[in-house]
Structures are given as C-alpha cells and as structure tokens.
Amino acid sequence: MADKRVIAIHLPQFYPFPENDEWWGKGFTEWRNVAKAKPRFWRHYQPHIPADLGFYDLRLKEARIAQQKLAEQYGIFGFCYYHYWFNGKLIMEKPVEAMLKDKDETFPFMLCWANENWSRNWSGGFNKTLIEQHYSEEDDIKHFNYLLSYFKDPRYIRVNGKPVFCVYKAHLFPDFEKTAQTWQKEASKYGFELYICHFEAGESRNKKYMTPTVNAAVEFQPMYLGKFGRYSNILYNLSRRCLHKELFNKIVNYKKYVDYQCKQVINIDYKRYPSLCPSWDNSPRRVNGHFFAFTHNTPVAFKKWFEHVYTSFKPFSKEENFIFINAWNEWAEGNHLEPDLKNGTAFLEAIKEVIDANENV
C-alpha cells in the first residue's frame, strides 16, 4: 500500500433521472449548466468544456471505466462517491449501483452521504426545498441495510478492515453520535465495524462532532475564506444568514489562497484528514444569482498546494493515510480534476509528479 492514499470526491450526477426532469426540465443533467455558462466578469474562465472524457453519461459502463482508468493512471487511489438517501428514496444512485454489480470496474471506492436537503438555490435563495431529509433510528437501520452490500464489497476502501463511511454535514443530525452508534450496532451483527468520518463542511467545522463513535474528520476545501474576496465578506455573510440571499459575489485569487494555506500550521488535537481543491466557480449553477469563484487557478498553483499537503501530512497510522481532493468532476462548480480544453491533464499530472517525486523519500 502507498504511504498516502489520495481520494477524489466524485459526483455521480451526469445522467438524466426523473427528479431532474421534474425540477429542471426533460433530459436535464449538469452538463446543461456547464455548456451554457458564460463569463460574468473580466477574464472569467467560462465555460469549462470537457476534453478527454467528453460530455459523458454515467449510465454507460465505458464512461465509468474511462474515469477510473484516468484517475488510476495519475495516482488517484480511489473515489469517494456522493450518496443520496432521503428516508428510503434514492437519487443519483444508478452509476454507483451499476459499478457495484460490474466486476470489471476494479477501482477502489468509498461513499459519502450527502445528507442535506435539496433546495432550489441556483438563483441565490436557500428557502425553496425540493426534497427534505428526516432522521430517525428506524431510518438509520434501513439506510445501513441498503449500504451493507457496498460495505461487504472487496473494492470498498477500509482502515484496518473497517469500511470507511463519510457524512457530509454532521450538524444537520439531531444527534449524530446516536446515528453513528446505531450504524455500529448494525455492523456488529455482521461481524465488522465501520470507520466513520464527517466532512468539516458548513457548520460542521467543530470538534464537538468528533464523538466517541466517530473516527475522524475530513477537511472540506475550499474553506477559511474570511480574509479573501473582492467584496465585503461581512455583508456577504450577513446577507446569507439574515436574508437567506447572497447579495454579493465572492471572487478570490486562488494563488493567494494557496499561499495562505501553505503557511498554515495545523494545530488540532483530533484526527482530521487534509483536503485541497483544484478550483471553484459555481457561477454555472447560479445563473440568476450571486456566486463564488476562484481566479488564477493554475496547475502550477495547485501543484504547490498538493505538494505542501502531501509532504506535510503525517498519517495517523499505516492505513489512516487519506488525502481528499474536492473534486474529481464537479463541473458545474468549476472544480474538476478531469481534463478540460484549457488545461488538459495538467492538474492530474501535478498529482502524479508530486507522488512520484516522493515515492522513495
């Protein structure tokens, strides 16, 4: 096993399904927002047009295998697929279910439950709920039973035999520790334990979610943006919290952000896996609203950040050695390792160069 395992977060959204047809129009996928995106300010890089893999459909085995081979070629150890569960209702599950059944797809994987409500927030509003999440012990058990076939799969990523299961936003649970205990109790019936992680996303950036049954946290980049931005961050945050609207765009220089990240001294007393991102620009999703975008996000700057994270992170144990990259294919958020027409495979090459340079160090 490599000294460190690089995990790319994967969005299995790129195929049509009934809910998207209902909410956004027949045949909708995120590719529609990606392709029609336009620059919103001077030298704004939009649209992002995919190169090597094209506008793929994840229902196709060939598309999934092409992703996996590309990731493996450049040093990615496995994917962390977002998983969507709403009290028994599944969304965007087809690609991952198909992967589970197809033994030709050998790439390692883990799951992250994206447990927040789905809202119509592409216009900058946060109060138009499309599908809501509810929590209960009964649902936790039902959810575990659905996930059991994934946890048993030999391709599933583990720590000391324990399947790694992540949760996106722990603060949304009425009692995250109780849910974690329920899952562990169910797992014990089948003779194993889970390795439970929570992403430090949104209000979940708090040590209180490192409960006795939770094994580790995962840093979720981009974060710590308080010192950056072209417009007032105070007004930006007030507008979100008080008016449930974003009244100001947030535009951040990626190179300066990377420099800031590389100077930070990590001083925490719990297990937290590091992460980084190649970019961010959610303007394609915020067609009629305000957005957050990085500028000056180059492969060279990304390589500097990745090299810093890769060389400074000391694994907690032989198998507690994850570095997360957000994301493999968040195209509508301008945040992807997958090649586009501007940069090609340059972001992926940066990863491989750093890994290869440190292989025997």
Closest CA relative to residue 114, chosen from 201, 223, 178, 210? 201
47 preceded by a cis bond (ω within 30 of 0): yes
Residue 34: predicted pLDDT: 97
Contacts of 157 (CB under 8 A, 6+ apart): 5, 7, 77, 78, 108, 109, 110, 163, 164
Residue 2: predicted pLDDT: 60
CATH number of the domain within which 30 lies:
3.20.20.80
Residue 158: predicted pLDDT: 98
Structural domain boundaries enclosing 291: 5-357
Structure tokens at 341: 């027409």
Per-residue pLDDT of the chain (361 residues; tens, 9 = 90+): 468 999 999 999 999 999 989 888 899 999 999 999 999 989 999 999 999 999 999 999 999 999 999 999 999 999 999 999 999 999 999 999 999 999 999 999 999 999 999 876 544 445 578 899 999 999 999 999 999 999 999 999 999 999 999 999 999 999 999 999 999 999 999 999 999 999 998 787 878 899 999 999 999 999 866 665 544 455 555 555 555 555 557 889 999 999 999 998 888 999 999 999 999 999 998 877 788 899 999 999 999 999 999 999 999 999 999 999 999 999 999 999 999 999 999 999 999 999 999 987 6
Contacts of 106 (CB under 8 A, 6+ apart): 68, 155
Residue 242: predicted pLDDT: 58
* Contact present, 283 and 46 (Cβ < 8 Å): yes
Contacts of 221 (CB under 8 A, 6+ apart): 275, 276, 277, 326
Closest CA relative to residue 8, chosen from 361, 337, 360? 337
Name the pTM for this structure. Answer: 0.93
In this structure, are strands 329-330 and 250-253 parallel, antiparallel, or unpaired? unpaired
**Residue located via tokens 């800031």:** 260
Residue 123: predicted pLDDT: 43
Structure tokens at 21: 């047809």
Q: Into how many domains does the chain fold? A: 1
DSSP string, 248-316: S-EEEEHHHHHHHHHHPPP--SS-EE-EE-S--B-TTT-TTS--EEEES--HHHHHHHHHHHHHH---S
